[in-house]
Amino acid sequence: MCRELRMFESDKKNLKQKVCIIGAICAQNQRKTIFAFRNGKTVPRYFELKMNELESRQQQIIDEFGIFTDWMDKYEYLIELGKELEPMPDSEKTDENLIKGCQSQVWLTASCNGGIVTFRADSDAIITKGIIALLIKVLSGLSPKEIAEADLHFIDAIGLRENLSPTRSNGLASMVRQIKMFAIAFSNA
C-alpha cells in the first residue's frame, strides 16, 4: 500500500524557487523512495531511506489484517499462520520451554547467532499457535536490542488484544514478555 506525501523545499541554487516533491512511500522492498517532479518531469530519485525492519514488518501485518473486515476471517488467518510455523521437535517441548501464564500450552525456544535472534515455537491450541506465529513473524531475525526495545503497536492496530478472551490476552502478554526476556538475556551475554 502506498500513500502520497506532498511537501515543498527550497531549491539549493535559488531559495525563492520552490520544488514540489511528491513521495510514494511504499512497503515494497522495505524502502521509502521519494521522487522529485519539476515542470511535469520526473527527476532522478531525490533520496532513499531504508525503513526500520521492525516497523516494516509491523506495517506488513497491519496491511495483511486490513484486508479482512470480519474477525472470523482474521481468526482463520491466524490459524493459517500457525500452520506455517516450522515444526518443533518433541524434544524441545519440555516444561523448561513452556511459557508460563498461557491458558494453552505454548513452547518457545530462542537462539542468537551473529547478533540475530531466531525463535521457534509450537502450541496445542490453533489460535494460540497463530498468535505466537504472528509474534515470531515480526520479531525473529532481529537483534536482541531491537526485540527488547520493540513497541509492538501492530497488536492494537489490528485489534488483536481487544478481540481475544481475557485468558488469551493474558497469554499474549506472557508470550511477549518471554520473547523480550530472551532478548534481554542475549543482550547481556
> H helices within 67-158, ranges in order?
71-83, 126-139, 144-148, 154-157
Separation of CA 11 from chain center: 37
User: Strands (DSSP E) along 27-185, which ranges?
Assistant: 31-38, 41-50, 106-113, 116-123
- Residue type for 135, please? L
Phi-psi region of 32 (alpha: psi -120 to 50; beta: other; left: phi over 0): beta
> Cell match 481468526: residue?
75
**Among 189, 83, 43, residue whose Cα is nearest residue 23:** 43
Q: Catalytic residue numbers?
A: 102
Beta bridge partners of 47: 34
Question: Taking Cα atoms as reference points, which of 117, 115, 166 lies closest to residue 141?
Answer: 117
